[in-house]
Structure 1
Amino acid sequence: MKNTAEKGQLHLRNRHRGRYDFSALIASHPPLAAFVTLNPYGVESVDFADPAAVRMLNQALLHHFYQIEHWDIPDGFLCPPVPGRADYIHHLADLLAEDNHAVVPRNLNVLDIGCGANCIYPLIGYREYGWRFTGSEVNEEAMRAANAIIAANPGLNRVIRLRRQKNPHAIFNNIIHKNEQYHAVICNPPFHASASEALQGNQRKVRNLGLGKNALLNFGGQQDELWCEGGEKAFITRMIDESVIFARQCLWFSSLVSRKENLAELWRALEQVGAIAVRTVDMAQGQKQSRFIAWTFMDKPLRERLMSRV
């Protein structure tokens, strides 16, 4: 079942394809009303330069569409754009459906590398498809915040579990346990190669959106969320190298790739480690282009057999 979207649009199953319906969102989450105003075009909106407004919008979206009644993140942590995060989940579901007779599978085990304080992928993936998640996290404060979200919403502790990665140089080691099986790995890797590069990226984003200087606070994030030595290419390459060790414990590994120019080198790295199949899945939200790369060490007959046991 290939149910993607036209170029420049969110996935057809994405609940956020149209404009935000603020009346419906406020009905579900009344505190949002205090942050909704008319923009210069006379259209209801929130001030995306205001971190509190963006956080409240996320609370409303998660409450209205995904029945997450309690969600919050500490100041200074990344506040994710819900529509784009949902798109990754839906496109990944299509990829997994290819090994399941074109039917999007449910009740899968998924590993989220670096789930963050927001825990966004497990929340959406569970509510949309009933997937069970293990989330890894290196930042102790982020893990506390994500665990608080899980604890505050009844039932989530049965389908989402978190594991602390105590070795900042490891990705799958210490997280995937012996005899565990995962149907997919997802990851939003650190994008930048240094703190200064991350700051410059935020400044460009602010200029492109025409927002004020205070917007830099909104595009915050901790070091582990925004940058690592070598940037996303180095991080994903490390993922690729380490994934070989767990080749028989996961059907599909995947990661977002923000810079398209990194794809060629990542494909070469996957060829070198013997990946059987590699995919680049393009996604888009308006003018913003994004993608994820996925790879597997299992042939299709084996993937189909494992998927049939779900």
Structure 2
Amino acid sequence: MNTRHQKKKSRPAPVSKGLHPRNLHNQGYDFPALAASYPALASHVKPNPYGDLSIDFSNPLAVRTLNAALLNRHYNIASWDIPDGALCPPIPGRADYIHYIADLVGSENLDIKLLDIGTGANGIYPLLACRIYGWQCVGSDINTQSIANVKAIIASNPDLEGRFTLRAQNDKNHIFEGIIQPGECFDVSVCNPPFHTSQDEALKSTQRKVTNLARNRGEAKTKTKASNLNFGGQGAELWCKGGELLFLKKMVRESQVYSSQCRWFTSLVSKSDNVRPLKKLMLKVGAVDVREIEMKQGNKVARVLAWTFVE
């Protein structure tokens, strides 16, 4: 029997390089510790082709269970789950956004009120903002089933009640209208916008991700059904008419109306070609400060645009 591999110690699988200095996931995932603290993960943890412990990132249940384990162990969030097919967010990258937003508004400031546009069924940004920085958060969404799911997560974490509240957007033609109430003020808004122009485009993009995962594991290319995509995402979570650019142009124009009720408006921008026209529009509608924040995650560079009308 070859015992050389049996004696090999596992090490945390690297997730990203260059995450924010305060990000708890800078050293990757400690799968043994995660499985020990969240036993449901144990059956998904196996050596990868390189001999390191990992999970099958093309398996939606494995990815959801990893997220639940991470949120439970590192952020004391119990009973996190999402419906089948809902967008399953990568926790390290989502935490990065919150940390960079904290730099923008002042990480030492505990009296921050955050608005999450399109919180989805996962509610990830307010959950992390509440736990990491103790902020007050409002999550909005056009999908009532998504809101119901986040309400269930909050109910399982009673200390979040009153700190994380939810509002339904009843008009698909508006983003802030109907959500920001008269006389109400926020310090910052965040958003992970739908970035595809159609459901077909979204499915093709996700299929490419699944194919790349299979290629990295040395597997044959397979056709994946929409219901089995680990990245998930339904309807407004992934696509809208006009895609990311049209959605964010609408957001920028509408932000002008609420310029005195939110100090900083921010959003992820997935397509670099959209940055220049969005910055141009921000200045056109009267923004006095526009910032592009880069977030490095492994070989991937994500970007956040932030703009304000307040001197």
Using structure 2 for the length normalisation, give the TM-score.
0.90
- Answering whether residue 301 of structure 2 is matched by residue 289 of structure 1, we say yes
Q: Distance in 1 between matches of 2:232 and 2:64?
A: 12
Q: 1:115 aligns with which of 108, 112, 119?
A: 119
Is residue 99 of structure 2 the alignment partner of residue 90 of structure 1? yes
Aligned with 2:78 (options 69, 87, 110): 69
1:55 aligns with 2:64: yes
Paired residue for 1:14?
A: 23
After the TM superposition, which segments of 4 or more aligned residues of structure 1 sit over 4 Å from their partners? none
What are the within-5 Å matches in structure 2 for residues 192-207 of structure 1?
A: 192-207=196-211
Larger radius of gyration: 2
Quick one: which amino acid aligns to residue 72 of structure 2?
H
- Give yes or no for contact 1:192–1:227 (8 Å, CA) kept in 2: yes
- Kept in 1: contact 2:20–2:100 (CA 8 A): yes
Please give the alpha-carbon distance, in whole angstroms, between the structure 1 residues aligned to 2:178 and 2:275: 27
TM-superposed CA distance for 1:10, in Å, is 0.6
Matched, 1:146 2:150: yes
Q: Secondary structure at the match of 2:260?
A: coil
What SS class does the counterpart of residue 173 from structure 1 fall into? Answer: coil
Is the 8 Å Cα contact of residues 181 and 249 (structure 1) preserved in structure 2? yes
The count of residues paired between Structure 1 and Structure 2 equals 288
Asked if the contact 1:50/1:214 (under 8 Å) is kept, the reply is no
Specify the alignment match of 1:181 in structure 2.
Answer: 185
Instruction: Give distance in 2, aligned partners of 1:78 and 1:199.
Output: 13
Q: Deviations over 1:63-120 (max 9, x none)?
A: 00000011011101001100000000001111112xxxxx532131000000000000
Provide, for residues 149-169 of structure 1, a one-character-per-residue CA deviation record: whole Å limited to 9, x for no partner. 111112111200000001011
Shift of 1:250: 0.7
Rounded to whole Å, the distance in 2 between the matches of 1:89 and 1:114 is 15
Which of residues 138, 142, 156 in structure 1 aligns to 2:160?
156
> 8 Å contact 2:210–2:224 — kept in the other structure?
no
CA distance in 2, matches of 1:132, 1:52: 31
CA contact (8 A) 1:55 1:72 kept: yes
Q: Give the whole-Å Cα distance in 2 for the aligned partners of 1:92 and 1:226.
A: 23
Asked whether the 8 Å contact 1:113–1:136 carries over to 2, the reply is yes
Inter-partner Cα distance in structure 1 for 2:17 and 2:266? 22
Query: Hey, what's the Cα distance between the residues in 1 that align with 2:75 and 2:116?
Result: 18
Moved more, 103-112 or 230-239: 103-112
User: Could you say which residue in structure 2 is the equivalent of 1:131?
Assistant: 135
What SS does structure 2 have at the residue aligned with 1:158?
coil
After superposing the two structures, state which structure 1 stretch, 198-207 or 256-265, moved more: 198-207
Shift of 1:200: 1.4
Unpaired runs of 5+ residues, structure 2, are 1-15, 216-221
User: Can you list the C-alpha shifts for 1:2-42, whole angstroms capped at 9, x where unaligned?
Assistant: xxxxx951101001111211121122211111111111111
RMSD between aligned alpha carbons? 1.4
Q: What secondary structure, in the 3-state scheme, does the structure 1 residue paired with 2:247 have?
A: helix
Q: For 1:274 and 1:294, how far apart are their aligned partners in 2?
A: 13
Instruction: Give 1:172 deviation, angstroms.
Output: 0.2
Indicate the larger mover: 206-215 or 247-256: 206-215
**Gapped regions of structure 1 (runs ≥ 5):** 1-6, 98-102, 300-310
Q: Tell me, yes or no, if the aligned pair for 1:110 and 1:185 is still in contact at 8 Å.
A: yes
Give the match's secondary structure for 1:65: helix
TM-superposed deviation, 1:214: 4.1
Q: TM-score, normalised by structure 1?
A: 0.90
* Mapped pair 1:190 → 2:194: yes
CA offset at residue 192 of structure 1? Answer: 0.4
CA contact (8 A) 1:138 1:164 kept: yes
CA distance in 2, matches of 1:182, 1:24: 38
Q: The residue matched to 1:167 in structure 2 has which SS?
A: coil
Give the CA deviation at 1:223.
Answer: 0.9
Q: Distance in 1 between matches of 2:156 and 2:172?
A: 28
Residue identity matched to 1:96: V
Is 1:242 aligned to 2:254, yes or no? yes
| C-alpha spacing 1:15/1:215, structure 2 compared with 1 (3 Å) | farther
**Offset at residue 219 of structure 1 (A):** 2.3
| Structure 1 Cα separation of the partners of residues 46 and 17 of structure 2 | 27
Cα displacement (A) at 1:208: 2.3
Whole-Å Cα distance in 1 between the matches of residues 277 and 212 of structure 2? Answer: 29
Does structure 2 retain, via aligned residues, the 8 Å contact 1:50–1:215? no
